[in-house]
Structure 1
């Protein structure tokens, strides 16, 4: 992968223009149908310039992932700064993601067909997606740390990761959701959040704590 171009205001604007052009072409032609030359032409830059900023289409998608995390955090900031109730924080963060992602829903099926390949660098679980994955998990860490939620001590450090996995499941549901305004996804969020809240609070009970410790031990094992 090429070295990142200097982050001057002009460079940032050029990068943003190329990413926007790429998203438009991915939407109309699909990921496979779009070419770097076509993206460069749509952005009004030379092919060399496009490659200067991005080593290929996969690198562009990683930039898009990063942009989505920035947009998601900006949209979630109000609820994170004003709410302390865990359920309200989690519901707000998941709901605003649906709003931020709405412009990309029409081509999400084509896009996520590539991202679903476990060997693809576009997968949210790939090494190439590590930065975007960490940024998204950090949002859910903020959800937990700024809330009133008290959970088993063994679970707390792993909870942001589990919430991110919940979010990934919601994203998959959203991709297939053809209801107006993705109402079914929003209904899923409304129904799932109280369950997550209750399960988290129950984790401190002695009768449940052993199961929670087993789950955490399994996660630790999978990390090794």
Structure 2
């Protein structure tokens, strides 16, 4: 990374840090780009050079949290862990990544879900790759009937978990942590039961519905 690129990255991080402080202190709606620029010690034009809007700032944060989750989870996905343990590792890493930002959790989650561009697609691809690693490292291996679709199903479960977290008012997000443990147990059992045709058909229907919705969103 050359000096110019390093300087730009440092400035972007400076703006993001200032925005986070203001979002948590004053709320997302009350925070303006002018306030963010002032908090970061930059001109408004400089702030806009790096981020088109405060929405763009939140999109960047959402992508960074995916990177944090991946970095935390990958070393813990040891070959030989059972599937439930590996699911728990990835879900816990997701909750750890978002935990400091509960003050504007709904805004953050809405941003992550609504964005549909190349950067969002790249973040989703990293999440899928993490779930494929979690499934591939598990022993005994999940049944072949569900193995290829299981990462996508787990990704959907994670998305439901973080939406729950965004509105979880329990101390330290304890209800979200309990839900993560329950999801890990349930999904591991579901993988075993996928050998039964009726369960496999239900799984296919769920994934099919989600894929159809995504195609409509992109149309």
TM range (shorter): 0.7 to 0.9
Match status 1:124 vs 2:113: yes
Q: How does 1:107-186 map to 2 (within 5 A)?
A: 107-109=104-106, 111-112=107-108, 116=110, 122-128=111-117, 129-148=120-139, 149-153=141-145, 155-186=146-177
Q: CA deviation at 1:68?
A: 0.6
Going from structure 1 to structure 2, the CA distance change for 1:203 and 1:28 (only over 3 Å counts) comes to same
The count of aligned residue pairs is 210
5+ residue gaps, structure 2: none
Q: How does 1:1-224 map to 2 (within 5 A)?
A: 8-81=5-78, 84-109=81-106, 111-112=107-108, 116=110, 122-128=111-117, 129-148=120-139, 149-153=141-145, 155-206=146-197, 208-219=199-210, 221-222=212-213, 224=215
TM-score, normalised relative to structure 2: 0.83
Q: CA deviation at 1:209?
A: 3.6
Q: CA deviation at 1:219?
A: 4.9
Which residue in 2 is equivalent to 1:3?
none
8 Å CA contact 2:59, 2:112 repeated in 1: no
Within 2, Cα distance between the matches of 1:152 and 1:205? Answer: 12
Going from structure 1 to structure 2, the CA distance change for 1:151 and 1:215 (only over 3 Å counts) comes to farther
Within 2, Cα distance between the matches of 1:151 and 1:23? Answer: 43
Structure ranking higher on relative contact order (CA contacts 8 Å, 6+ apart): 2
Structure 1 or 2: more helix by fraction: 2
Q: CA deviation at 1:193?
A: 0.9
User: Structure 1, residues 139-177: CA drift from partner, whole Å, max 9, x if none?
Assistant: 222222222332344x43332222122111111221222
| 3-state SS of 1:164 partner | helix
Within 2, Cα distance between the matches of 1:95 and 1:16? Answer: 25
Going from structure 1 to structure 2, the CA distance change for 1:186 and 1:39 (only over 3 Å counts) comes to same
Task: Indicate the RMSD between aligned Cα atoms, in angstroms.
Answer: 2.5
Q: CA deviation at 1:220?
A: 5.1
8 Å CA contact 1:36, 1:50 repeated in 2: yes
| 3-state SS of 1:147 partner | coil
Within 2, Cα distance between the matches of 1:175 and 1:48? Answer: 32
Within 2, Cα distance between the matches of 1:123 and 1:74? Answer: 18
Q: CA deviation at 1:198?
A: 1.1
